Amino acid sequence: MNTWLSLLGGLALWAAHFLAAYAIASLVDISSYEHQAPLTWLLAGLTLACVLAAVALAVRAWRASRRPGLGGVFVPRLSALASTLAAIAIVWQSAPFLWRH
Amino acid sequence: MNGPPTPSETGFDTALYERFPTKGRRPKGELEQLEAIWCAPRRWEWITVINNNYVGVYYVGAAMLFFVLAGVLALLMRTQLALPMQGVLAQETYNQIFTMHGTVMMFLFAVPAVEALGVLLLPQMLGARDLPFPRLSAYAFWAYLIGGLAFFCSLFFGLAPNGGWFMYPPLTSTTYSPGINADFWLLGIGFIEISAIAGAIEIIVGVLKTRAPGMTLDKLPVFAWAMLVFAGMIIIAFPSVILATTLLELERALGWPFFDATRGGDPMLWQHLFWFFGHPEVYIIFLPAAGAMSTIVPAVARTPLVGHWLVVLAFLATGFISFGVWAHHMFTTGLPGVSVGMFSAASMAVSLPAGVQVFSWIATVASGRMKFNAPGLFVLGSLLIFVMGGLTGVMAAMVPFDWQAHDTYFIVAHLHYVLIGGMVFPLFAAIYYWTPMVSAHPLSERLGRWTFGLMFAGMHLAFLPMHLTGLMGMPRRVYTYAAGRDWEWPNLISSIGAFVFAAGVLIWVIDMIRNFRPFGFSEAGNVYGGGGLEWLPAGLYSTRSIPVVTSLYPLWDQKNLARDVAAGRYFLPGAPTGGRETLVTSPVNAEPQHLLRMPIPSGWHVWAAVFTAGFFLLLTVQAYAASVLSGVLAIVCVLRWCWFLDHPLPQQTVDVGAGIELPTYASGSSSTGWWAMVVTLVVGGMVLAMSVFSYVFLWSRSPDTWRPPPDTTSLAVATASAIGGGALALLARRQLGRPWLATAMVIAGGALLGLAFGVDLSSWRSIGLSPQASAQGAIVHAILAWQGFFVAVAAIMALYVLLRRLYGYVGPDRPATIELVGLFLAYTAGQGLVGLYVTRLFPAGLA
């Protein structure tokens, strides 16, 4: 199970962030003006947390590739790159929202 | 990506692999026994056959039949549109034909075709005798074929759906679509959803659990990776369309207003649910095709795939990111600006993994010595067409451009470039490439070049001008147009192109008739020099023995592999239990875990498929009693088929080669049944998640009209019952030493779940919440109905356990049935609790 969590963890973070961003964006749409700023900060904070978590996963996976566990070096290297990609994608998809507000 | 040896996943000593290939001759009669066990069908057994060598070919054949049928519909449409103001087709007929063209292509051709390719190729590619649930594959095929043909025939009676392949309400509501045409779509898609999910379960468990020993994740063929991600995406995406079609049918049949704005519903909900399935659907059909491309390109270029692991990463990234783009089909619906920006960003991002794959293929072609044979030509054609379609996709991801191009022929051009380049051409490459694996003759190279040339030229002739007709303002789905808008020439050229394309397909059909000879005793073999296990010498039992894999391209890198495999010098050279069997291995390192006894052909899965299709089709024509009878018979057939499962063999362990002993029975996470149940429950969980989304969405549309929930007493009773029911069912596994107690616990667990459901339902009824009166009533009852369905299945399972106990089939020597039923009941309890608390606490809890 740890192998699969490691492999898919970064991308799962991206998915979780995406859903949260979608929910927050929808809330912004139906909330009054004074509530919009806190929601924007909430998304900014969430984005930062998810990016940091994805980077941490990437670093952890890269280190693990030196001491291969299940899945040899293939899985940790793939995990490292997937988590890095997820971190970039999280920033990318939040940019329109954060830029606008 | 090779490195030091990895630790064991299961405790299996991988040093035992050194015993292979074994020395000496195999016992006399061993091969003959294998051949007798996996013998060819005779007479009516051609229908009940379950071997993937047959079912896979049937499946691909049926998918191609639907491709041709939907193609004929396209020709009719292009004939009508060739000139302005034509009267070839009446407006209503045209509406039915374009709806059926899209629906048949997407649901009856594209998804089944790639799933069929998986069923046909994966066992040989993974080194398995067959996929773990061959009857499930056969059931999925027959349900699809029978239901699909009946669905298609609705055209001949003027009863075909006519609301477009994405069936937007309110156009498809009873107000604007009276009659049963729309119901044919909504219920007709039902059996295809079942079939697709059944196939996906089979593929996930097959790829994870039936790989040849040593086939660790880094040696997993790229096609298998693609199929694994594809099947995972089906499990996540299809529940959304299951829910959407169910809700719309409930609205049409019973008046529950999910999409009726006058009673608090919102037609936008349909678009969200449909496109949460519909956009990933594009990648669902693209990924297996990309997997096939990534397998064929190295073979025709005669060099390993450049960036294999980057391609795998691209598959995984596509599998995730494609779920973040559903709303890009809804840019013109007035979505909030911030949401639009987010979805636009994700739509651009999803092109990156596709780009990685394309560059990998180009680099492989460039670094090898490309052969321009038929598969090679289709591969190159696919690359060009798909890149063009991808670029217009990035254009459409830009919101201002999409506002202009939306619902015009530009989009028609874009989607055909993507789907033909991303799926149809790779599929034809795959057909040409893998035909020698299943046929006595390969397809003709000369005819293949003609097929490619005509399809390639016809494709561009047909769809390139459509970009212009779209930009000139021609809307899609119009049955005719007036002269004088400069649309005449592009339309005429498109129509000529469609017929040129069809001529290419016709030549392929002729080629198939002339050369395709499956089910014989010999195959043409590895004509194109592929490096995968599927090219090992094989019979109906797949390979004579199951090799130890040490390379991504075993046939290229492992010397004498084919000879040693054919001589039975690897795992499972015979049939140690005397029946059909395959090795089950661990999901990461593919270490042998146990021997799986495979089923033999019987008619139950065919009857189950007939009655499943009958259930949905009879429901469509409002023959309710006959439909219910058909549904009951389908359940009986499935139970009868399950009855043969979970029977321990007399031999607890057997020698699977080189003196290695493996158990013949397994339960828990090492068993294939456990994995299948977990995947099935993920499907249920996804439907629940989408239901919760629908609940919150509908609340957000008219929050002021929602009424408070019932009293908390019923909440407490339902909670206690659900927790008690789930816990009893889970704990029954520990009481197998006392079979009657275990059985009683399962039955009591089911009863408590029924009580929880009944209490919840009656409490909502007691406050007068009607499903017809408001969107809240409708969605609360829909969530209850989903739970009610699970409770009904749980009740059937509990009775099934009781029946097995009466026959003496419940005991500590066979824990699998009780374990899986317990898992299902525990999930049902959890699902009930989620539904219960969401509907009680939201939005009331916010106040």
| B344: confidence class by pLDDT, cuts 50, 70, 90 | confident
Which residue in the set A7, A69, A82 is minimally distant from B7, CB to CB? A69
B180 inside 8 A of chain A by CB: no
Element holding B582 (H helix, E strand)? strand B581-585
Q: Is pLDDT of B19 > 80?
A: yes
| Cβ pair B345:A95 closer than 8 A | yes
Contact in structure between A46 and A13 (CB atoms under 8 Å): no
- Nearest residue on chain B to A2, alpha-carbon basis: B588
The residue among A70, A81, A92 with the most chain B CBs within 10 A of its CB, best to mutate, is A70
Q: How many Å apart are CA B377 and CA B445, to the nearest integer? A: 11
Contact in structure between B656 and B576 (CB atoms under 8 Å): yes
Which residue in the set B9, B336, B349 is minimally distant from A93, CB to CB? B349
The residue among B204, B310, B342, B698 with the most chain A CBs within 10 A of its CB, best to mutate, is B342
Q: Residue B70 has which token pair?
A: 């939907």
B345 inside 8 A of chain A by CB: yes
Q: Is pLDDT of B700 > 60?
A: yes
Per the structure, the complete domain to which residue A93 belongs is given by: 2-100
Report the DSSP beta bridge partners of residue B596: B582
pLDDT at residue number B791: 98
Q: How many Å apart are CA B90 and CA B338, to the nearest integer? A: 43
| Cβ pair B342:A25 closer than 8 A | yes
The 10 Å CB-count burial string (b at 16+, else e) for B431-469 is: bbbbbbbbbbebbbeebbebbbebbbebbbbbbbbbbbb
A45 inside 8 A of chain B by CB: no
SS (H, E, C) B327-359: HHHCHHHCCCHHHHHHHHHHHHHCHHHHHHHHH
Q: In total, how many domains does chain A have?
A: 1
| Cβ pair A74:B336 closer than 8 A | no
pLDDT in tens, B51-71: 999 999 999 999 999 999 999
| Cβ pair B9:A70 closer than 8 A | yes
Q: Are strands B581-585 and B542-543 parallel, antiparallel or unpaired?
A: unpaired
Taking all residues of chain B, what is their mean pLDDT, rounded to a whole number? 94
A82 inside 8 A of chain B by CB: yes
pLDDT in tens, B206-236: 999 999 999 999 999 999 999 999 999 999 9
Which residue in the set B3, B320, B337 is minimally distant from A72, CB to CB? B3
Residue type, B824: F
For residue B24, how far is the Cα from the chain centroid? 44
* Higher pLDDT among residues B681 and B2, named by residue: B681
pLDDT in tens, B593-628: 999 999 999 999 999 999 999 999 899 888 999 999
pLDDT in tens, B774-802: 999 999 999 999 999 999 999 999 999 99
For residue B1, how far is the Cα from the chain centroid? 31
| Cβ pair B313:A78 closer than 8 A | yes
Element holding B584 (H helix, E strand)? strand B581-585
User: Which residues of chain A are under the pLDDT cut of 70?
Assistant: 1, 100-101
Which residue in the set B7, B310, B339 is minimally distant from A25, CB to CB? B339
Q: How far apart are the first and last CA of chain B?
A: 56
The whole-angstrom distance between B652's CA and the closest CA on chain A is 28
CATH architecture of the domain covering B668-846: Up-down Bundle (1.20)
- Nearest residue on chain A to B669, alpha-carbon basis: A1
Residues of A with CB below 8 A from B341's CB? Answer: 96-97, 100
**CB half-sphere exposure, B210, CA atoms < 13 A:** 34
> Helices (DSSP H) in B516-643: which residue ranges?
554-557, 561-566, 604-620, 624-643
Query: Which B positions 688-717 lie with beta carbon below 8 A of chain A?
Result: 700
A15 inside 8 A of chain B by CB: yes
Q: Residue B747 has which token pair?
A: 């039955």
Mean pLDDT of the region B492-496: 98
Residue type, B151: F
Torsion angle of C-alpha atoms B185, B475, B399, B334, degrees rounded to 10: -60
| B1: confidence class by pLDDT, cuts 50, 70, 90 | very low
How far CA B299 is from CA of B262, B296, B685, in Å, comes to 59, 5, 41
pLDDT at residue number B846: 64
Q: How many Å apart are CA B111 and CA B122, to the nearest integer? A: 16
What is the maximal distance between C-alpha atoms in chain A? Answer: 53
pLDDT at residue number A69: 75
Q: Is pLDDT of B502 > 80?
A: yes
Residue B439: strand, helix, or coil: strand
Residue B545: strand, helix, or coil: coil
Which residue in the set B320, B587, B700 is minimally distant from A15, CB to CB? B320
The residue among B215, B220, B266, B320 with the most chain A CBs within 10 A of its CB, best to mutate, is B320
| Cβ pair B317:A68 closer than 8 A | no
Q: How many Å apart are CA B751 and CA B745, to the nearest integer? A: 10
Which residue in the set B216, B316, B324 is minimally distant from A82, CB to CB? B316
Here the ipTM equals: 0.94
Residue B542: strand, helix, or coil: strand
The number of C-beta contacts closer than 8 angstroms across A and B is 107
- What are the structural domain ranges in chain B? 55-515, 668-846
The whole-angstrom distance between A60's CA and the closest CA on chain B is 18
Contact in structure between B267 and B400 (CB atoms under 8 Å): no
| B847: confidence class by pLDDT, cuts 50, 70, 90 | low
Closest Cα partner for B464 from B412, B408, B428, B506? Answer: B412
- Nearest residue on chain B to A92, alpha-carbon basis: B345
Question: In this structure, how many other beta carbons lie within 10 angstroms of the beta carbon of residue B809?
Answer: 16
Lowest mean pLDDT among B38-42, B221-225, B428-432: B38-42
Residues 6+ positions from B677 with CB-CB distance below 8 Å: B820, B823, B824
| Cβ pair B320:A14 closer than 8 A | yes
Q: Residue B129 has which token pair?
A: 């005798």
The residue among A4, A62, A78, A84 with the most chain B CBs within 10 A of its CB, best to mutate, is A78
* Higher pLDDT among residues B348 and B652, named by residue: B652
pLDDT in tens, B620-634: 888 999 999 999 999
For residue B261, how far is the Cα from the chain centroid? 33
Percent of chain B at pLDDT > 90 equals 89
Mean pLDDT of the region B237-259: 96
- Nearest residue on chain A to B312, alpha-carbon basis: A78
Lowest mean pLDDT among B355-369, B516-530, B551-565, B803-817: B516-530
- Nearest residue on chain B to A23, alpha-carbon basis: B339
Query: DSSP states of B660-695 as a string?
Result: -EEES---GGGSHHHHHHHHHHHHHHHHHHHHHHHH
CATH architecture of the domain covering B55-515: Up-down Bundle (1.20)
Residues of B with CB below 8 A from A80's CB? Answer: none
The whole-angstrom distance between B119's CA and the closest CA on chain A is 24
Query: Which A positions 16-35 lie with beta carbon below 8 A of chain B?
Result: 18, 21-22, 25-26, 28-30
Mean pLDDT of the region B686-693: 97
Long-range contacts of B367-372 (CB under 8 A, 24+ apart): B367/B301, B367/B303, B367/B306, B368/B298, B368/B301, B368/B302, B368/B303, B369/B301, B369/B302, B369/B303, B370/B300, B370/B301, B371/B300, B371/B301, B371/B302, B371/B528
How far CA B833 is from CA of A43, B765, B797, in Å, comes to 29, 18, 20
